[in-house]
Structure 1
């Protein structure tokens, strides 16, 4: 069922000065990724959830925005049963958690900074941030990096990827939320796109995956894979 994931290369292009970027998320039939006010929804069925964790195991780092941390308090680890792993696989490798947080709202009580956290997060913020919060988070084991902002006041994604390359990150899996998904889709920096479509409707109060469809890329090399009740689309973005 998951063999197609082994056929995808997540290695950076030869000579690239940034990681290979994979964008993946799950949405409903009406294009929603969360409920009202960002409430977490379990859209993926068990088979596509397993595919997501296989993808996590294939990447050096995993990225979400601060909204996902505040709403979901994720661990961003790999959770797989032994039978889900390819034969002969070694121990599961957990990706390095990366958080985009321009004003440093990251809570000091988050699961990612608990003593039991497998890998403490790398948090990327802007020059305008809470300096005391930075000290508090670093005391808990997190690493806080400061990035420049772009013309719209958002953290610079090219600078982020350049910094991750310098930190020996070769592959980055981007999971969300909505603002992060839209920013990466419009950035021209995504090499692999994997979209899980769940057979449910959320309704008009749900959060759209993309806020400006006109800025999204077209897709090529498209394939579709049935995972239980869900369908996963695998494609490569093509930017004009």
Structure 2
């Protein structure tokens, strides 16, 4: 596990107006939604499907963990889970509470009991077990179910198949579960779907994109929604290597 470097002091005030608070949510009855991810100059988030690719500098990696201190939940799709086996924890210094991992897994593919996150939950009581959102007709592996429930997580059934990702129902149920803010980190299918959905129903409160000075090529996994998305209230931050864009779509 690599150590985090100190967060650049200029990032804190730069990010502040784009982070959750009671006065800046579009929808007070749903969680504050931050869409955040790292991409290459050619809008790729990994070099190939199903592979983990290091893109961002250590500065912006630390920024990601700082953002996790400011949100109640971290949401990713099953593609990210199967490709990366991510920890989905916060390692920022003096993090007061861990965010809740939230996984969109319509077909219940994840064998949670064998994951890195399950191991972390066994070793550290402060790490939270996930909420796993599956389709209402999905067949859940009994070993995964038992492990999730034993560690304090849960499976949540929603009508997902044939209905995009059903973002309104997902966000409504998360608010009912006490999640007041959620940072959505990927992967590409989740990001593209959320950006498309946001054109119909405005659910994204904040957009924070790290752009690394690299091209990953045409085999890479691309972030590209189905139509034009205009971003408002844009500001930029320049680090040692990466550039960070903040805005509101």
Q: TM-score range by the shorter chain?
A: 0.7 to 0.9
SS at 1:144 equivalent? strand
Per-residue deviation at 1:79? Answer: 1.7
Which deviations, in whole Å up to 9, do the C-alpha atoms of 1:30-64 show, x marking residues without a partner?
A: 11001212311110101111111111110010100
Structure 1 counterpart of 2:241, from 229, 236, 240: 229
Matched, 1:38 2:55: no
The TM-score, its normalising length taken from structure 2, stands at: 0.84
SS at 2:79 equivalent? helix
SS at 2:238 equivalent? strand
Structure 1 counterpart of 2:117, from 112, 118, 127: 112
Q: Distance in 2 between matches of 1:9 and 1:30?
A: 27
Matched, 1:17 2:26: no
1:175-190 correspondence to structure 2 within 5 Å: 175-188=185-198, 189-190=203-204
Per-residue deviation at 1:112? Answer: 1.8
1:62–1:97 CA contact under 8 A, matched in 2: yes
> 4+ runs of 1 displaced by more than 6 Å?
none
1:62-211 correspondence to structure 2 within 5 Å: 62-80=74-92, 82=93, 91-107=95-111, 108-114=113-119, 115-116=122-123, 118-133=127-142, 135-141=145-151, 142-149=153-160, 152-188=162-198, 189-211=203-225
Per-residue deviation at 1:169? Answer: 0.9
SS at 1:38 equivalent? coil
Between stretches 135-144 and 221-230, larger displacement belongs to: 135-144
SS at 2:231 equivalent? strand
Structure 1 counterpart of 2:11, from 2, 25, 28: 2
Unaligned runs of 5+ residues in structure 1 are 83-89
Q: Distance in 1 between matches of 2:166 and 2:192?
A: 14
**CA 1:198 to 1:15, structure 2 compared with 1: closer, same or farther past 3 Å?**
closer
- For these two proteins, the number of residue pairs brought into alignment is 226
Per-residue deviation at 1:155? Answer: 3.3
2:26–2:205 CA contact under 8 A, matched in 1: no
Q: Distance in 2 between matches of 1:211 and 1:7?
A: 25
Q: Which residue in 2 is equivalent to 1:29?
A: 41
